[in-house]
Amino acid sequence: MTVYFLCVVLLTMGLYCLVAKKNIVKKVLGIVIMDYAVNLYLIIIGYKTGGVAPIIEADMPLSTLERFVDPLPQALVLTSIVIGLGVMSLMVAMCIRLYEKHGTFDMSVISKLRG
Amino acid sequence: MANIAPQLYALLVFMVIGSIVAIETRNLLSAVISVSAVGFALSVAFLFLGAPDIAITQLVVEVLVLIILIRGTILLDNTAVDTHRDTLAVVTSLIFFGLILGFGAMIFGSRGFPEFGQPVMRVSKVYVQTGLPATYAANIVTAVILDFRAYDTLGEATVLFTSILGALALLRREGKVSREEVVAA
Amino acid sequence: MKGMTLIVKTITDFVAGFIVIFGAYIVLYGHLTPGGGFAGGVIVACAFILLMLAHGSDVAFSKLPEKVAHVMDSAGALAFLGIGWFGMTMGFFFMNSFGRGEMFKLFSSGMILPLNIAVAFKVGSSLFLVFSALAIFRRRSFRAMIEDELA
């Protein structure tokens, strides 16, 4: 149970960084931390005590199939990690554009400027 | 039957400390490097949790995250934003923090939620049992993402395509303007 | 974007080819060992990004021109969709209708190997493209250059 709770702590820290920080790069870092927390939570849910990786070998006894960890969350997280990278590069592109337009990363300055 | 709980706790505490440093430090370069430390610890945690596919992907992606963040943002401006703190935002988010932690404790304390180490494998049992005879792929994770659930992967490839397209559209070179237009403006 | 020192360039020349081979191995054996199209594509993209960081963007674009990367990106996505539609002709969308081959061999498991390669092309070339756009992005726009020239 404590493992799940630490994952939620990590998620809320990312959320705090996203809400309370002024620097837009810090906000991006908060989203990245939330991404990590969700991925880790999904993998932890699928872990089986004494489990092995779900990869079959040729000379493996059939009983080993019972010890495999859950492959379904792993399959979903595998694509989610790469998508997180793509979305992060989109956010970095937005940050660069904002910096080019306003000359600063400070959110309070950017939102005060008009035009 | 190795008990991996101590290693997992150590890695999680390391990740929490790393994120605290990343959130509270004033130097952007230190923040980015701390977030990358969290990512590498996450990769090791995936190895402990029996997910080598995810560990490889996370390790390589983490290198790219570090390079993109440093190359894209830190080179522009490394000065810390040093204005006064918005106390209302901090207090609101701290209340948020407490509420979410409370809800988390409530949910994970309730019965019916699977204990750590005892997953509910209702769907996955079929994948594990029939994965090799149905697809001839020894790696069950690959069998799931590219055969049983290839439709999902198509959708996620579309999401990746769209986000990269958005980044390229944002960063395209500005359209050629003639000298007369600039003079007139 | 300029390159780095001679030491970095020499080491990069030694290493980059091996990184591409390793990425290809991760992609091709994705259905037998840990790995797959996503991880392998990112590794191959890392090799070209290493070239770009060490030698500058001109050398990297001479190895993999921007137009070719765009075409590979779209071709990977289209190949993924096309394999799905090929299954449609045999029965249903993404039906594994290719020959299965022999278990635990490289050419087995039907459409999983082509799909892995398509995903690798898609992920690798798109990440290379987005990194090159981020790295060589001109901070000063065309309009600002003309304005400076006039001032």
Q: What stretches of chain B show up as alpha helix (H) in DSSP?
A: 5-24, 28-48, 52-69, 87-109, 124-135, 140-143, 150-170, 179-184
Least confident of A111-115, B10-14, C63-67, C78-82: A111-115
Q: What is the pLDDT of residue B1?
A: 46
Number of domains into which chain A is organized: 1
Residues contacting B79, CB < 8 A, separation 6+? none
ipTM of the complex: 0.90
Cα–Cα separations (whole angstroms), residue B46 to A36, B38, C26, C82:
11, 12, 18, 33
If we measure between CA atoms, which residue out of C128, C32, A35, A8 comes closest to residue B100? A8
How many angstroms away from the CA of B36 is the closest CA of chain C? 16
Number of domains into which chain B is organized: 2
* End-of-domain residue from the set B22, B53, B78: B78
Please write the tens of the pLDDT for every residue from C116-144: 999 999 999 999 999 888 877 654 555 56
Quote the tokens at residue B156.
Answer: 């996620």
Instruction: Give yes or no: residues B68 and B138 share one domain.
Output: no
For A13, the domain range is 2-112
Is the pLDDT confidence value at B106 over 90? no
Provide, as residue numbers in chain C, all residues whose Cβ is less than 8 Å from the Cβ of A92. Answer: 134
Cα(B63)–Cα(C6) distance, rounded to whole angstroms?
23
- A residues 73-112 closer than 8 Å to B (CB): 74-90, 92-97, 99, 104-106, 108
Are B69 and A89 contacting, i.e. CB atoms less than 8 angstroms apart? no
* End-of-domain residue from the set B46, B78, B110: B78
Which among C36, C139, C147 has the least Cβ separation from residue B142? Answer: C36
Interface partners of chain A (CB pairs < 8 Å, 3 or more) are B, C
Q: Which string of b and e fits B5-29 if b means at least 16 CB within 10 Å?
A: eeebeebbebbbebbebbbebeebe
How many cross-chain Cβ pairs, A to C, lie less than 8 Å apart? Answer: 29
For the segment A76-80, the average pLDDT, to the nearest whole number, is 89
Quote the tokens at residue C35.
Answer: 């790995």
* A89 at C interface, C-beta within 8 A: yes
For B169, the domain range is 124-173
Q: What is the pLDDT of residue B109?
A: 67
Please write the tens of the pLDDT for every residue from C6-29: 999 999 999 999 999 999 999 998
Higher pLDDT, B112 or B155: B155
Which among C34, C123, C141 has the least Cβ separation from residue A55? Answer: C34
Rounded to the nearest 5 percent, the helix, strand and coil shares of chain A are 75, 5, 20
Q: Which residues sit opposite A55 in a β-bridge?
A: B139
> Sign of the CA dihedral B27, B28, B32, B38?
positive
B85 in a structural domain = no
Please write the tens of the pLDDT for every residue from B125-178: 888 888 888 778 888 888 888 888 888 888 888 999 999 999 988 887 665 566
Are B11 and B44 contacting, i.e. CB atoms less than 8 angstroms apart? yes
Provide, as residue numbers in chain B, all residues whose Cβ is less than 8 Å from the Cβ of C34. Answer: 52-53, 55-56, 139
CATH number of the domain residue A65 falls in: 1.10.287.3510
Q: Which residues sit opposite B139 in a β-bridge?
A: A55
Cα–Cα separations (whole angstroms), residue C149 to A101, B175, C24:
20, 18, 49
If we measure between CA atoms, which residue out of B39, B20, C129, B72 comes closest to residue A91? B72
Cα–Cα separations (whole angstroms), residue A8 to A30, A36, A37, B3, B11:
14, 11, 7, 22, 15
Please write the tens of the pLDDT for every residue from B26-81: 888 889 999 999 999 999 999 988 888 899 999 999 999 998 888 777 766 666 55
Could you count the other beta carbons within 10 Å of the beta carbon of residue C74?
A: 15
* A53 at C interface, C-beta within 8 A: yes
For the segment B3-24, the average pLDDT, to the nearest whole number, is 89
| Helix axes of C112-135 and C37-55: crossing angle, nearest 10 degrees | 30
Are B135 and A32 contacting, i.e. CB atoms less than 8 angstroms apart? no
Looking at residue A19, what DSSP letter applies?
Answer: H
How many angstroms away from the CA of A82 is the closest CA of chain C? 7
Q: Which residues sit opposite C108 in a β-bridge?
A: C101
Cα–Cα separations (whole angstroms), residue B54 to A43, B85, B90:
9, 39, 35
Quote the tokens at residue B129.
Answer: 């049992």
pLDDT band at B5 (very low <50, low <70, confident <90, very high): confident
